[in-house]
Amino acid sequence: MLRGLYNAAAGMVTQQRRHDTVTQNIANLNTAGYKQNDTVIRSFPEVLVSMIGGEPGNPKHTIGKLNTGVFAEESMALYTQGDLRETGNTSDFAIVSELNVMNPETGMNMPFDASGRFISEDGEVTYRPQAFFTVQDENGNTRYTRNGQFQISPEGNVLTSTGLQVLDTNNEAVVLTGAAGNLTVNEQGFILDGAGNPIGPALGISVVDRPFDLVREGNGVYRLQSEEGVRMLANGDNVMVRQGFIEASNVDPSKSMVELTAALRAYETNQKVIQFYDKSLEKAANEIGRV
């Protein structure tokens, strides 16, 4: 009996974490560059149920599998492209990215699924690379973001909305010379002068081969435990910079509300199960035990 009680309790904890993840997504519907989180739920442990003395010659007849609980293993970000929203501000930038990876077996681009993964026939997983603005925190650490709502300091430094320094392709701080605030960039990210000619390096746009290794730090900023598999944008990459636009959150509000309702109903169901077990235990202790 207690096994069922523990299963229901594990289900409640899991649905609470699922609920928290969805509410975080909904809270960031209007956050530029925000990437939706999805909760990965797995069962534990998986038990093979058998019947002793089954068919003749088969003393153990397999009935099936039984899962004795679930848990929220992790929250994974969904790095799909968000819609572009025009702002008209010259300091706002959006990355439009659809990087492809060639399948060496077929010589064609890998057909990534909606989550940005391709699983080969032998089970090998390949992730769609993603492009990010390269920034630097106050401690000199390299960070990555899709939030292109930049601002320009009186000294000409190009900063993120939270004050992080924007870097160029040489991993140097982007500093405007001349009149601060006169920032013009082409689709390749190169800063242009008044005549439309590139001056100096382009905005630092990093391509991360395994985006699911990114760790959230808050405010749309990510970090990597290891810089392996990170490179600067190269010619031929299907990435474009749009000035005067920002990338909106990729959270689907309708899907999020359905997910929120489903988590709530599953939580209530497990709660009812616990109440049932509580009444059963109370009867066993106070009535049956008295006999």
Domain that holds residue 44: 2-77+267-288
Q: State the CB neighbour count (10 A cutoff) for residue 229.
A: 14
- The reported pLDDT for the residue numbered 253 is 92
- The reported pLDDT for the residue numbered 126 is 86
Are 88 and 73 within one domain?
A: no
Could you give the number of structural domains in the chain? 2
- The reported pLDDT for the residue numbered 88 is 87
Mean per-residue pLDDT pooled into runs of 10, the chain (291 residues):
79 91 92 90 74 60 75 83 91 92 85 84 86 94 94 90 93 77 82 81 91 89 89 89 94 92 93 88 73 54
Q: Tell me, yes or no, whether 126 lies in a domain.
A: yes
- The reported pLDDT for the residue numbered 51 is 65
Are 60 and 114 within one domain?
A: no
Q: Tell me, yes or no, whether 262 lies in a domain.
A: no
Secondary structure letter of residue 250 according to DSSP: -
Integer Cα distance of 45 and 127 in angstroms? 29
- The reported pLDDT for the residue numbered 180 is 43
3-state SS assignment for residue 262: helix
Are 62 and 92 within one domain?
A: no
Are 156 and 234 within one domain?
A: yes
